[in-house]
Structure 1
């Protein structure tokens, strides 16, 4: 499928207006603090953006960040401003045309930002071990609607786990389905290029993540997708697709389920742009100054990562009280009840 993807994104698509579904459009509510950062990115790069989510997690200053499938570099240049001159952002992509756009404006962004902290590498995201990237050298790895395009998603996750530092995070947006995608859809070159043919069944993704060493993946946000082309919609039938952002932590000790040890945290309100609450994931919006009960996994995700300095921690792992209330295994995505309508693209 590499040839299909390279042709679709390198030659067929010239801008986001050429897309036939809402899969590769970012309908996420853009926070006010991010808008001026995006405004400083070259117009051509903005024009050739095909992401499906928002991949700018908090607390990136000074971090080393890797962007898998960086395309023309919009997210790389946004992240470059967030990590600052002490940080570093590396973009990996396999498409020459996309990398050419990203690299052609590198000097323009250096002049605009006042520093140069980005680099681009040609390569395949399922073959990260073949690139000159040091294991355990990245604080955060991101990806925006690209993992679905890889023919070997397990290898992608294995490579990410290898490159992350202990306590590091994979924060990425991608496309998922409510069931396994049939071969007729998977082998359709347009549907594959539109990020639907290669979409993972959500439960298969969770299994792959756990097998790669990422226990307890956390869903940050999701939205249902619409196939706007009538002919393509007929081919996908009753399949439901979702754009979802997950965060996966490289942490020893995470359990397969949310276990209750009687622990709690108090958010200090000190994370930039989040003075009133910190959103770890879809089910954990932690208000500042309040004692917030958490499971053992959530406790570790805050205590053993870059977030630790912004919380007060209560409890330990000496006493176990069983499964944390509300832990389940049903499909995590929101559907629009009673209708087939999806949230439209922005």
Structure 2
């Protein structure tokens, strides 16, 4: 755990270093990343030269989505994302550094003219506090500066009101949250709040696609207390396992590694630091109901364990609640399961509560019905023209 003095100097060092990097490019702040050149050609050179990252979460976006970029810097990922999501989509960039935001805002009209539409906006805020609009707070403090303990307390109260009445990013409003090498810049004690905020702003069914630097070992306290290493995306890095667990602890499901660099970006005191891109989904929360549905894990592994602790062996029918059944029908699970609907559908309004803490196999009679005793003719074959048969 970093000391209080180191905590303050780390945040200050991060803000100062990125403010300077908005004026003069700093190569040490970014990993080599191959971006699609057809998107880069629409973006001014100033943005590309002064934007820093370790991955490309924009390649996992879809047309029409509402995207939030945490730590958007000079806007490179936002401007790429704006072209991917198209005119029916929308992109919001959040950053706390005035110099970075100035570059992004100044170049936004240029990109809009080149692509033929405007769908990007930039907002000032800290990514671990997506409720507080720092521009609104700045405006209020300019009228009533903090000059005493009482005015300080009044400013804190105002910040709380702004989070509720005029949030920087509303709850359940975003399809995809992306970030490019920024989460590790947040101090350790606020990282849980950061993931909770990330989860809050996503719609049910939304997802996070995060590129960041992780370590293969725990980082010693001496390194954590080094402001230069912290602002350089080193000291604040999660371990590989810890990064995945942070998504799990925040309530995400379907967490997967989309990309992991085999070669480390840097090695410091024997600890390897490399870029990974993680995707995680929001939406497994909610009531469970019994509708006599079953799933069959197709393989290739003998057994798998899902995010709710259900262990399923290949080829066996398992009872699941309606919520889980429908989750498995979507990404990232759909390709790995067969789905067995009940012969007689149970309306959701008539379904009984289901105990999702248990794992049990489902006998075929449960989906067909206990009294099911039909006998049918052999299924009709269609000649494929190459001598193939049904069986």
Q: TM-score, normalised to structure 1's length?
A: 0.70
| 1:26 paired to 2:32 | yes
Q: 4+ residue runs of structure 1 moved beyond 4 angstroms? A: 12-16, 295-302, 310-313, 316-321
User: Is this contact kept in 1: 2:177–2:209, CA < 8 A?
Assistant: yes
One of 315, 320, 339 as aligned partner of 1:315: 339
Provide the secondary structure at the position in 1 that maps to 2:271: coil
What residue number does 1:336 align with?
A: none
Provide the secondary structure at the position in 2 that maps to 1:136: coil
Provide the secondary structure at the position in 2 that maps to 1:82: helix
What is the deviation of 1:95?
0.6
One of 173, 176, 188 as aligned partner of 1:140: 176
Aligned length: 273
Paired with 1:312 and 1:203, the residues of 2 have a C-alpha distance of 24
1:70–1:298 CA distance, 2 compared to 1 (3 A): farther
What residue number does 1:180 align with?
A: 218
What is the deviation of 1:214?
1.2
User: Is this contact kept in 2: 1:65–1:139, CA < 8 A?
Assistant: yes
What residue number does 1:157 align with?
A: 195
Q: CA RMSD in A?
A: 3.3
1:213–1:316 CA distance, 2 compared to 1 (3 A): farther
Structure 1, unaligned stretches of length 5 or more? 228-232, 255-259, 266-292, 322-346
User: Is this contact kept in 2: 1:141–1:160, CA < 8 A?
Assistant: yes
1:57–1:250 CA distance, 2 compared to 1 (3 A): farther
Paired with 2:24 and 2:242, the residues of 1 have a C-alpha distance of 31
One of 262, 272, 282 as aligned partner of 2:296: 262
Aligned counterparts, 1:33-182, within 5 A: 34-58=36-60, 60-130=62-132, 131-151=167-187, 152-182=190-220
Structure 2, unaligned stretches of length 5 or more? 1-9, 133-166, 287-293, 300-315, 343-358, 362-391
Provide the secondary structure at the position in 2 that maps to 1:127: coil
What is the deviation of 1:132?
2.5
User: Is this contact kept in 2: 1:220–1:244, CA < 8 A?
Assistant: yes
What is the deviation of 1:226?
3.6
1:302–1:35 CA distance, 2 compared to 1 (3 A): farther
User: Is this contact kept in 2: 1:24–1:195, CA < 8 A?
Assistant: no
Provide the secondary structure at the position in 1 that maps to 2:129: helix
What is the deviation of 1:312?
11
| 1:247 paired to 2:279 | yes
One of 311, 318, 329 as aligned partner of 1:303: 329
Provide the secondary structure at the position in 1 that maps to 2:130: helix
Paired with 1:70 and 1:246, the residues of 2 have a C-alpha distance of 18
1:215–1:102 CA distance, 2 compared to 1 (3 A): same
User: Is this contact kept in 2: 1:264–1:315, CA < 8 A?
Assistant: no
Paired with 2:111 and 2:91, the residues of 1 have a C-alpha distance of 13
What is the deviation of 1:82?
1.1
Instruction: Say which structure is richer in helix.
Output: 2
Q: TM-score, normalised to structure 2's length?
A: 0.63
Paired with 2:60 and 2:254, the residues of 1 have a C-alpha distance of 20
Paired with 1:298 and 1:45, the residues of 2 have a C-alpha distance of 43
Paired with 1:298 and 1:182, the residues of 2 have a C-alpha distance of 41
Aligned counterparts, 1:266-305, within 5 A: 303-304=329-330
| 1:238 paired to 2:286 | no
Structure number with larger C-alpha Rg: 2
What is the deviation of 1:221?
0.8
